[in-house]
Amino acid sequence: MDGKMKAAILYSLKNIKVDWCKIPTFKDNEVLIKVKYAGICGSDVPRAMITGARKYPLILGHEFSGEVVETGAKVTKVKPNDRVVVAPLIPCKKCHYCKIGLFGICEHYNIIGTGSNGAFAEYVVVPEDNVLKINDSLDFISAAGVEPATIGYHALQKVNIKPGETVVIVGCGAIGQLTLQWAKTFGASTIIAVDISDEKLDLARKLGADITINSIKIDVVKRIREITSAGADVVVETAGSAIAQQQAILLTRKKGRVVFIGISHNGLHLAEKTVEHILRGEISIQGSWNSYTAPYPGIAWKATIDFMTRGLIKFKDIVSHIITIEDVGYYLKGMSEQTIPYNKVLISFDE
């Protein structure tokens, strides 16, 4: 397909501009997709504005939905006009972890939108293996939330929630709000949402939280121990805060399970009482990274598309802004400087 497209191009740190560039060409095993909606991930903000990207120039964007425009000669899984989402991680398929099906912790992976051009553009090229068809009943806005929703599913798989258990979600940004919905489907009887924003806690309650706690206003550890008698069975930290990570450990009962999803970009100094609780309480602490397993991209992706299609995992309620490509630089700057209140920001290419 010849011609030009609009793209938000990151030329250097803090330097993102909307330019016209060539629609990318594709190989025999690749697919050209017209982007419908692309989400700004929390990781895109430091990539563009704080820590920098892996390469320049770069088109960001790894959470997206779209429609197949053209396919390479060897592509058989999809065809033009198919409605699709994309699993953005491209595993090397050669390292030890790929060989045993743990693609999410591949040693030499690429992610579309971080190591190669992504979806903050009208068109994007991706490998056939990364493309997943969606049903006509799943709208493109919701489908743009499939990738972040898989993160919560993958994390909760690790902690084996049992019916009747209490689960605490620490951090009610987009990942937290999706994860608390998964906690309900996994069988949790009581879900407690913790955040420092009353607005996000209000939304968490609408999405299924039974109890909400603003941790600035209330001693969250004391309050949850009062509610549960001994502490929560499972605590999921999604905020990416060293303070919240330490709180998460203290919120668990003895023999409880903690899973860390959020990235703090800081060290984690554990107070003496926290270490004592880990040891004397035999607390299990689990990290969770990405969402990819065998067969690629894995059960988290299959389950998310299924549950979203049936309306059991809601993403639209989480979207706070739908913007145009011309707004991308302004929003990335405002999100970085915390001058724009937001929940989930989507870029729309859908006429």
Last residue of a domain, one of 287, 305, 338: 287
Please indicate, yes or no, whether residues 74 and 99 belong to a single structural domain of this protein. Answer: yes
What is the number of other CB atoms lying within 10 angstroms of the CB of residue 88? 27
> How many angstroms separate the CA atoms of 72 and 95, rounded?
27
Looking at 272, 287, 302, the residue that finishes a domain is: 287
**Domain assignment of residue 273, yes or no:** yes
3-class secondary-structure state, position 285: strand
Domain that holds residue 223: 159-287
pLDDT at 147: 98
Question: Do residues 9 and 140 share a domain?
Answer: yes
Q: State whether 201 and 273 are in the same domain.
A: yes
CATH code where residue 197 lies: 3.40.50.720
User: 3-state class of 183 per DSSP?
Assistant: helix
Residue where one domain finishes, among candidates 234, 259, 287: 287
Q: What angle do CA 36, 40, 43 make, to 5 degrees?
A: 140
Token readout for 201 is 């806690």
Q: Quick count: other Cβ atoms within 10 Å of Cβ 67? A: 15
Residue 266 lies in a domain: yes
Same structural domain, 233 and 343: no
313, 202, 40, 184: CA torsion to nearest 10: -30
Return the DSSP state at 110: E
Q: Looking at the domain assignment, is residue 153 inside a domain?
A: no
Tell me how far the alpha carbon of residue 137 is from its chain's centroid.
22
Same domain, 174 and 250: yes
Same domain? For 122 and 221 the reply is no
| C-alpha count within 13 angstroms, C-beta hemisphere, residue 90 | 17
pLDDT given for residue 265 in this prediction: 84
Other CB atoms within 10 Å distance of the CB of residue 80: 11
Strands 58-59 and 4-12: antiparallel
Please indicate, yes or no, if residue 203 is contained in any of the structural domains. yes
**In angstroms, rounded to a whole number, what is the distance separating the alpha carbons of residues 91 and 105?**
9
4-12 and 15-22: which strand pairing? antiparallel
For residue 213, with 0-12 CB atoms within 10 Å meaning exposed, 13-18 middle and 19 or more buried, which class applies? buried
pLDDT of 65 reads 98
Mean pLDDT by runs of 10 across the 351 residues of the chain is: 92 98 97 98 96 96 98 98 98 97 97 97 98 97 98 97 96 97 97 97 98 97 95 97 96 98 92 97 97 97 98 97 98 96 95 67
Q: What is the CATH number of the domain that holds 295?
A: 3.90.180.10
Asked whether residue 298 is assigned to any structural domain, the reply reads yes
Same domain, 254 and 339: no
* Number of Cβ within a 10 Å radius of residue 181: 26
264 with 219, same domain?
A: yes
Could you tell me if 283 and 319 lie in one domain?
no
Q: Are strands 83-86 and 131-133 parallel, antiparallel or unpaired?
A: antiparallel
Asked whether residue 238 is domain-assigned, the answer is yes
154 is a domain residue: no
Same domain, 175 and 108: no
How many whole angstroms separate alpha carbon 131 and alpha carbon 147?
A: 12
Helices (H), 96-219: 96-99, 140-143, 146-157, 174-185, 198-206
CA gap 205, 277 in Å, rounded? 29
100 and 183 share a domain? no
Running DSSP on this structure, what letter comes out for residue 268?
A: -
Does 22 reside within a domain? yes
Query: pLDDT at position 350, please?
Result: 85
Nearest Cα residue to 240 out of 153, 114, 151, 166? 151
Q: How many domains is the chain built from?
A: 2
Residue 70, helix vs strand vs coil: strand
- Which are the contacts of 151, defined by CB distance < 8 A and separation ≥ 6? 175, 178, 179, 261, 288, 290, 291, 300
CA 106 – CA 115 distance, rounded (Å): 14
Q: Are residues 60 and 177 in the same domain?
A: no
